[in-house]
Amino acid sequence: MADSRFFTVAGPFTLARLAEISGAQLAPGADGAAEFRDVASLEDGGPGEISFLDNRKYAASFLVSKAGAAIVHPDMAGKAPAGMALLLTKDPYRAYAKVAQAFYPVPATEPFVAASAIVDPTATIGAGCRIEHGAVIGARAEIGQRCRIGTNAVIADGVVLGDDCIIGANSTVQFAIIGSRVNIYTGVRIGQDGFGFAMGAQGHLKVPQLGRVIIGDDVEVGANTTIDRGAGPDTVIGSGCMIDNLVQIGHNVQLGWGCVIVAQAGISGSTKLGDFVAAGGQVGIAGHLTIGPGARIAAQAGVAKNVGPGETVGGTPAVPQMEWLRQAAVLSKLVRRKG
């Protein structure tokens, strides 16, 4: 289904193999030997293709889908259209992710150093790296194995990358120590000065920013996102964090493990997020706060005080999500009374 102009499909795989890959169970009656050649959406899938149902909003498409197989929650097993083979799991999206990764594996890095790339002679480059046209790698930088440094990307002096990292085209990385399997998208800015200065009527006075950006393993940083280096302490992005496009992360911010930061959110200086915090799109978090592990912040919320572990907050200034929704309801009622 994917445009062969851009994508190359692997496979085919038998349904039994896909069950194994995904950790889902073959439903009773499903033919494990049947071959599937691709993934597809419920709407577009045909006989040799496997789809999935996760968001129940799309259940109607499931009922009439012509896909040869689908990964679904056991709850939905009874509603499958005739002839559709099922793989059953309580987390269909995760299982689909594994199946789709099997059909569309990330291509292995083909080692290459472009003639136009500039690699400082004091930099160390691991085996199997790919350094694209116009990329620059500075003095004493240390690049792990099988990294890809994108076209016209800049890795400044002293930067450290682990293995299997991707630095997108036109990105800039300075003052940073980065783990393995980190995927920096295109146009990302890492390690520039934090926004630190002493304000004054006689002129704002810049405060040297003496920290670094430390990024763990298995992190993604979305396109055109900016992560400032610390002012003294470091800015820290924990392993497994997923950061979307156009996000701003200020100096000294710490993100725990597995945080999810949606597009255009901004986290002000010195704020600490625990593990697995989720911040919605366009969220703003003030500086010097602590956001507890597992907290969830609704899109566009403006967080002005600490948030406890596991709390869900919304609104500006942010309050517990239920209270925010009640505020909206009360306001709406007041207006209708006066209207």
Catalytic hit among 73, 133, 204, 251: 251
C-beta of 284: minimal distance to a copy of itself in Å?
5
For 267-297, letters b (16+ CB in 10 Å) and e give bbbbbbbbbbbbbbbbbbbbeebebbbbbbb
For 141-157, letters b (16+ CB in 10 Å) and e give bbbbbbbbbbbbbbbbe
Given a contact cutoff of 8 angstroms between Cβ atoms, the answer to whether 40 and 1 are in contact is yes
**Site for a copy of itself (CB under 8 A): which residue of 74, 157, 311, 312?**
157
Options 13-21, 78-86, 121-129, 274-282: segment touching a copy of itself (CB under 8 A): 274-282
C-beta of 327: minimal distance to a copy of itself in Å?
5
Q: Binding to a copy of itself by residue 186, rule CB under 8 A?
A: yes
Q: Binding to a copy of itself by residue 30, rule CB under 8 A?
A: no
* Interatomic CA distance for residues 326 and 94, integer angstroms: 34
Given a contact cutoff of 8 angstroms between Cβ atoms, the answer to whether 336 and 329 are in contact is no
C-beta of 145: minimal distance to a copy of itself in Å?
20
Q: Binding to a copy of itself by residue 286, rule CB under 8 A?
A: yes
Sign of the C-alpha dihedral computed for residues 325, 328, 334 and 335 taken in this order:
negative
What are the residues whose beta carbons fall under 8 Å from the beta carbon of 252, sequence distance 6 or more?
Answer: 194, 211, 230, 231, 232, 233, 234, 235, 269, 270
Beta strands at 160-161 and 176-178: parallel, antiparallel or unpaired: parallel
Question: Per-residue contact track with a copy of itself, 89 to 128, x per CB under 8 A?
Answer: --x-xx-xxx-xx-xx---------x-x-x----------
List, in sequence order, every residue forming a beta bridge with 177; answer none if it has no partner: 160, 214
* Interatomic CA distance for residues 101 and 123, integer angstroms: 33
C-beta of 155: minimal distance to a copy of itself in Å?
10
Q: Binding to a copy of itself by residue 2, rule CB under 8 A?
A: yes
* Interatomic CA distance for residues 254 and 126, integer angstroms: 29
Q: Binding to a copy of itself by residue 326, rule CB under 8 A?
A: yes
Q: Give 300-318 as a DSSP string.
A: T-EE-S-B-TT-EEETTTT
Q: Binding to a copy of itself by residue 163, rule CB under 8 A?
A: no
* Interatomic CA distance for residues 103 and 225, integer angstroms: 29
Q: Binding to a copy of itself by residue 18, rule CB under 8 A?
A: no
What are the residues whose beta carbons fall under 8 Å from the beta carbon of 55, sequence distance 6 or more?
Answer: none
Residue with Cβ nearer a copy of itself (33 or 120): 120
**Site for a copy of itself (CB under 8 A): which residue of 84, 185, 279, 307?**
185
**Site for a copy of itself (CB under 8 A): which residue of 41, 61, 145, 321?**
41
Which 58-77 residues touch a copy of itself, going by CB under 8 A?
none
Instruction: Please give the torsion angle defined by the CA atoms of residues 92, 97, 100 and 102, in that order, rounded to the nearest 10 degrees.
Output: -110
Give catalytic status of residue 251 as yes or no.
yes
C-beta of 79: minimal distance to a copy of itself in Å?
21
Q: Binding to a copy of itself by residue 168, rule CB under 8 A?
A: yes
Q: Binding to a copy of itself by residue 180, rule CB under 8 A?
A: no
Sign of the C-alpha dihedral computed for residues 91, 97, 103 and 108 taken in this order:
negative
Residue with Cβ nearer a copy of itself (143 or 160): 160
C-beta of 32: minimal distance to a copy of itself in Å?
24
Q: Binding to a copy of itself by residue 189, rule CB under 8 A?
A: yes
Which 235-264 residues touch a copy of itself, going by CB under 8 A?
240, 242, 244-246, 248, 250, 258, 260, 262-264
Q: Binding to a copy of itself by residue 323, rule CB under 8 A?
A: yes
Active-site amino acid positions: 251
